[in-house]
Amino acid sequence: MTHWIGYIDGPEETPFAGGRFHLNINFPAEFPFKPPHIRFITSIYHPNISIEADPNVEHGLNRDALKLCQTDKQKYEDIAIEWTRKHADNRQSLKW
C-alpha cells in the first residue's frame, strides 16, 4: 500500500476548529529512508499549508494568506474560518 488518503481534524481554538482536512499520502519505494509525499486535498487558507495555530510568518507558500496574516491578523482568521466552513466541514464526507 503506497497510496493512502487520510485526514487531520482542525485543532480547537484555531480558525480551523471543526474542519476535517483530507490528505493524499504517497509513500515512495524507498520508504522509510525517504519521507512520504503529502498533499492537502481539502482547500485550506494558511500561509504554510498546515493547521498550526501560530503560522510561521517569516515565509509561506500561500503569499496572500501570509501577507494578510502579517498585516491584518483578524481578517486572516476570519477568511480561514470561512474557508474551513466552506471546504472542510467535517460533517461532509470526502467528495471525489
**What digits encode the pLDDT tens for the residues 35-56?**
999 999 999 999 887 666 666 6
Look at residue 63 in the predicted model and tell me its pLDDT.
87
Nearest Cα to Cα of residue 48 among 25, 27, 35, 64:
64
- Report cis status (omega within 30 of 0) of the bond before 11: no
Residue 58 domain flag: yes
Q: What is the mean pLDDT of the chain?
A: 87
The residue ranking higher by pLDDT, 33 or 49, is: 33
Identify whether 95 is part of a domain: no
Instruction: Specify the pLDDT at position 1.
Output: 76
Which pLDDT band, with edges at 50, 70 and 90, does 89 fall under? confident
Please report whether residue 9 resides in a domain: yes
Domain range enclosing 39: 3-87
CATH code, 81: 3.10.110.10
Examine residue 94 and state whether it is found in any structural domain, yes or no. Answer: no
Whether the Cβ atoms of residue 15 and residue 80 lie closer than 8 Å to each other: yes
Query: Does 17 map to a domain?
Result: yes
Q: Strand ranges (DSSP E) for 17-74?
A: 20-26, 37-40
62 within a domain of the structure (yes/no): yes
The total number of structural domains that make up the chain: 1
User: How far apart are the C-alpha atoms of 25 and 91, rounded to whole Å?
Assistant: 22
Instruction: Please count the other Cβ atoms lying within 10 Å of the Cβ belonging to residue 88.
Output: 24
Q: For residue 24, is it within any domain?
A: yes
